[in-house]
Amino acid sequence: MIGRTRRGGRHRDGQPPTTVYRRLWDGPARSDAETLDRSTPGWSVFYSLSQRRFYAIATWPTPQPLIISDASAEGLQDQMHQAETALTWQSLPEQARPRPAPVLHREGTR
């Protein structure tokens, strides 16, 4: 076999070329990730085949890299919304933040 030229796609001489079926792994999940990526500006969303999780990376400037993940597309979207809210909250000046209502305890329930 050394030194002989072989045509591509044949495993043995005299056999027809073989075709390999290309399998699309986790098609619905990858489709959900694509849809979420297109619908959420400021985020890069993808699906990891090896981890079977959805990931989102913030594409706007943040103090530290912001990467979140979830097992479902809906859960990831909720976490993305929470992260945006938290970063917006942190960027407000201290005076502009609304104060939480004090928690009142009844006598003897502490």
Q: Tell me the whole-structure pTM to 2 decimals.
A: 0.64
% the chain with pLDDT above 90: 45
pLDDT at 97: 62
Helix (H) or strand (E) holding 47: strand 43-48
Dihedral pair phi/psi, residue 103, rounded to 5° = -90, 120
Q: Are 69 and 56 in contact (CB under 8 A)?
A: yes
DSSP state of 22: P
pLDDT at 64: 86
- Is residue 24's pLDDT more than 70? yes
Helices (H), 42-92: 73-91
Question: SS3 for 89?
Answer: helix
% the chain with pLDDT above 70: 66
